Amino acid sequence: MRLGLILGEVGQGLRRNISMVISIVLVTFISLTFVGAAILLQVQINEMKGYWYDRAEVAVYLCTEVSNAGNCTLSVATPEQIAAVEAELESDTLAPYIERFEFENRDQAFQNFQNQFADSPIVELVEPEFFNEAFWVNLVDPTQSDILVESLGSMAGVESVEDQRAYLDGIFAILNAASITAVGIASLMLVAAVLLIATTIRLSAFSRRRELGIMRLVGASNGFIQTPFVLEGVFAALIGSVLASGAVVVIVQVFVQGYLGGSLSTTTSFVGLSDALLVIPVLLGLGIVLAALSSSFAIRRYLRV
């Protein structure tokens, strides 16, 4: 009886304010889609960090005849110097930090370059002499590249020691900025959604103030008066959250897995449906909690005795 009565009130309120309810649905939909996108972007960044940091190597570039950077003096690193670097890499001080390393001569570097840029006209412009000889080092802990920089950077015949992670950090910084932007937009939109819900509930309460007045007069409990309005706000926000969840699934399935996954799947792993399914409860919960809080706050004024 009471439940039926409350649900009846909710339905009546929703119908009476249909345009406001639609705007709540849309605003929560968009804001929560941004929230979902931001969360997935963070997951993606972590996944990519795990993937790429394992593959990132430290390059120890050796001198060429055209280089005078670092310890170079416009002459090629001598075999003795190369042997010294190799000995240092195998020494007791560095060996514990190094998983494996390999030496790459100019022809190999040229070959790798040609493979990598096979379709590009730049291949025809380069010659093996353009490349440095180098040691490629995989570290046990990729964050400890400073040790190599310190110990090898000052050796004769070494042009520079470079950590490839430095390039990746730039990419991740961009992705991070994108996800922070998404969070920023999402929070602004959520503020708008909360205010919109509060306004709608006030409007709804105002259009029912006769009933509310009588309810208070005859002693309807605060919970009874409040519930239809809270449910009204929660219901509208819930529709928005469900739409946002759907949008997140579609984005992951069609754009990330379908488009990005199709063209880049060999080099990177992407967030999948399982990650999207983890985000959905967050979106639904966020939508419901915000709507319940703002509408119960909005209706409080009508309950004051």
Partner 1 sequence: MIRFDQVTKLYKGNTRPALNAVSLEILKGEFVFLVGASGSGKSSFLRLVLKEEKPSKGEVHVLGQRLNTIASRKVPYFRRSLGVVFQDFRLLPNKTVFDNVAFTLQVIGKSKGFIQEAVPDVLKMVGLAGKASRFPHELSGGEQQRVAIARAIVNRPAILLADEPTGNLDPSTSAGIMTLLQRINANGTTVLMATHDAGIVDQMQRRVIELVSGQVVRDERGGGYQTQAVPVQQPFGLAAEEGSAR
Residues of this chain that bind partner 1 (CB under 8 A)? 1-2, 5, 210-211, 213-222, 224-225, 304-305
Residue 125 or residue 217: which is nearer to partner 1 going by CB?
217
272 exposed, middle or buried (CB, 10 Å; 0-12, 13-18, 19+)? Answer: middle
* Minimum CB distance to partner 1 smaller for 91 or for 221: 221
Q: Which is nearer to partner 1, 82 or 225 (CB)?
A: 225
Whose Cβ is closer to partner 1: residue 67's or residue 296's? 296
Least CB distance to partner 1 at residue 265 (A): 60
Q: How far is the CB of 222 from partner 1 (least distance, A)?
A: 6
Residues 6+ positions from 33 with CB-CB distance below 8 Å: 243, 244, 247, 248
Q: To the nearest whole angstrom, how small is the minimum distance from the Cβ of residue 303 to partner 1? A: 8
CB 158 within 8 A of CB 60: yes
Give the C-alpha separation, 208 to 225, whole Å. Answer: 11
**At its nearest, how many Å lie between partner 1 and the CB of residue 297?**
16
CB of 305 to partner 1, least distance (A): 4
By beta-carbon proximity to partner 1, the closer residue of 192 and 215 is 215
Give min distance, CB of 226 to partner 1, in A: 11
Contact 222, 303 (CB under 8 A): yes
- Judged by CB, which is closer to partner 1: 124, or 304? 304
- Minimum distance from residue 191 beta carbon to partner 1 (Å): 30
Rounded CA separation 118/231 (Å): 62
Residue placing its CB nearer to partner 1 in the complex, 86 or 211: 211
